Amino acid sequence: GSIQVSDDSQFVTLSLASGASAKVLLYGATVVSWKIQDRELLWLSSASALDGSKAVRGGIPLVFPVFGPPPAGTAVEKLAQHGFARTSKWNLLGRAEDEEGSVRVEFGLSSDSLDEETKAKWPYAFGLIYSVTLRENTLETKILVQNPGSEAFDFNVLFHTYLRIPDVSTIGVQGLNSLTYRDKTLGGSEHQESSEVIKITSQTDRVYKSAPDAITVSESDKPLYTVTKTGLNDVVLWNPYSDGVEKIGDWEPKEGYKNMVCVEAGSVASWQTLEPEATWEGGVVHKAHL
User: Residues forming the annotated binding site for substrate?
Assistant: 57, 81, 86
Q: Any bridge partners for residue 8, and if so which?
A: none
Give CA torsion, residues 13, 17, 20, 23, to 10 deg. Answer: 0
> Who contacts 179 (Cβ-Cβ below 8 Å, separation ≥6)?
192, 193, 208, 209, 210, 211
- Report, in Å, the least distance between residue 240 CB and ligand TA6: 7
One residue of 81, 169, 210, 242 binding ligand TA6 per CB under 6 A = 81
The answer to whether residue 264 is catalytic is yes
Asked if residues 182 and 81 have their Cβ atoms less than 8 Å apart, the reply is no
What sign results for the dihedral spanned by CA atoms 152, 153, 158, 160?
negative
The residue among 160 and 258 lying less far from ligand TA6, judged by its C-beta, is 160
Residue number with the smallest Cβ distance to ligand TA6: 238
- Report, in Å, the least distance between residue 68 CB and ligand TA6: 5
Catalytic member of 160, 219, 246, 275: 160
- Report, in Å, the least distance between residue 160 CB and ligand TA6: 6
Q: By CB under 6 A, how many residues form the interface with ligand TA6?
A: 11
One residue of 58, 211, 264, 287 binding ligand TA6 per CB under 6 A = 264
Binding mask 167-206 for ligand TA6 (x = CB under 6 A): -----------------x--------------------x-
User: What does 221-272 look like in DSSP terms, one character per residue?
Assistant: TEEEEEEEEES--EEEEEE-HHHHHTT-TT--SGGGGGGEEEEEEEEEEEEE
DSSP reduced 3-state for 126? coil
One residue of 23, 35, 82, 287 binding ligand TA6 per CB under 6 A = 82
> Who contacts 91 (Cβ-Cβ below 8 Å, separation ≥6)?
26, 107, 108, 109, 113
CA distance 143 to 228: 14
- Report, in Å, the least distance between residue 252 CB and ligand TA6: 14
Residue 121, class by beta-carbon neighbours within 10 Å (0-12 exposed, 13-18 middle, 19+ buried)? Answer: middle
The answer to whether residue 160 is catalytic is yes
The residue among 104 and 160 lying less far from ligand TA6, judged by its C-beta, is 160
Residues between 213 and 242 that touch ligand TA6 (CB under 6 A): 236, 238
Active-site residues, by number, are 160, 264
Chain contacts with ligand TA6 (rule: CB under 6 A): 55, 68, 81-82, 160, 184, 205, 236, 238, 262, 264
